[in-house]
A and B are shown apart, each in its own frame.
Chain A
Amino acid sequence: EVVMTQSPATLSVSPGERATLSCRASQSVKNNLAWYQQKLGQAPRLLIYDSSTRATDIPARFSGSGSATEFTLTISSLQSEDLAIYHCQQYNNWPYTFGQGTNLEIK
């Protein structure tokens, strides 16, 4: 099973600043990596797939990069509504696995 490790566990960023979230895979997953945003009490929402492709209606301030084992989600200018937990997920090898999540706080 591919183990996904996200860092940091909690990130505190001021509005308007850049937020950088990391996700590492225990083996190469090529570019088969997705990011999800989960607000309190809600279901996850797809943000990014294929490592860097934004999903429908996702604002341009969200961007993804990386391949193989190292991936990054960047929020270029943090908005208050971006308060959420962010999950990465690999879909290269069954069983598809998720990271433990990064809790993004607004400073």
Chain B
Amino acid sequence: EVNLVESGGDLVQPGGSLRLSCAASGFTFSGHSMNWVRQAPGKGLELVSWISSSGTTTLYADSVKGRFTISRDNAKNSLYLQMNSLRAGDTAIYYCARYGSGTYYQYWGRGTLVTVSS
């Protein structure tokens, strides 16, 4: 059974940094690209970033480009999101998600809450 467990969410001041982690199990992690998707309070879902299975290719939403960095450690079955220069608008639940047979999000973690506030 595919299992994704996020951690690292916290309250952080504007301009601060945070690193999120996602522990994956139940599938061959190194064989799948991975994603971070976020949801601001009371809002819809927003794709944040994507990383290829090997980690060599990454993509970002314009809203986080230059501030966030996605990475992975296939030996540890883990996905990461380094978030710098955080803004109030980054306040959201951050989900780790994996594609199914196509590029839709079939598997989701339970999310971790990031709050950016002074």
Q: How far is the CB of A103 from chain B (nearest CB, A)?
A: 10
B106 touches A55 (CB 8 A): yes
Within 8 Å CB of A94, what residues of B?
Answer: 59
A98 touches B104 (CB 8 A): no
Within 8 Å CB of B44, what residues of A?
Answer: 87, 98-101
User: A91 with B104: in contact, given A98-B44, A98-B45 (CB under 8 Å)?
Assistant: yes
In the bound assembly, the distance between CA atoms of A85 and B44 in angstroms comes to 10
User: A49 with B111: in contact, given A44-B105, A95-B47 (CB under 8 Å)?
Assistant: no
* Residue B36 interfacial (CB < 8 Å): no
Q: How far is the CB of B117 from chain A (nearest CB, A)?
A: 21
* Residue B102 interfacial (CB < 8 Å): yes
A43 touches B100 (CB 8 A): no
B111 touches A97 (CB 8 A): no
User: A89 with B45: in contact, given A46-B106, A94-B59 (CB under 8 Å)?
Assistant: yes
A96 touches B106 (CB 8 A): no
User: Quick one: which of A43, A98, A101 has the most chain B CB within 10 A?
Assistant: A43
User: A49 with B108: in contact, given A97-B47, A99-B44 (CB under 8 Å)?
Assistant: no
Interface residues of B in 91-118 (CB under 8 A from A): 95, 100, 102-106, 108-111
* Residue A36 interfacial (CB < 8 Å): yes
Chain B interface size, as a band, is: 10 to 19
User: Quick one: which of B43, B45, B47, B103 has the most chain A CB within 10 A?
Assistant: B45
Summarize A's interface: helix, strand, loop or mixed: loop
B111 touches A46 (CB 8 A): no
* Residue B61 interfacial (CB < 8 Å): yes
Interface residues of A in 70-107 (CB under 8 A from B): 87, 89, 91, 94-101
In the bound assembly, the distance between CA atoms of A47 and B95 in angstroms comes to 18
**10 additional contacts (CB under 8 A) given A32-B102, A49-B106, A101-B44:** A34-B105, A36-B45, A43-B95, A45-B108, A46-B100, A46-B104, A49-B102, A87-B45, A94-B59, A95-B59
Q: Give the interface of A toward B (CB within 8 A).
A: 32, 34, 36, 42-46, 49-50, 55, 87, 89, 91, 94-101
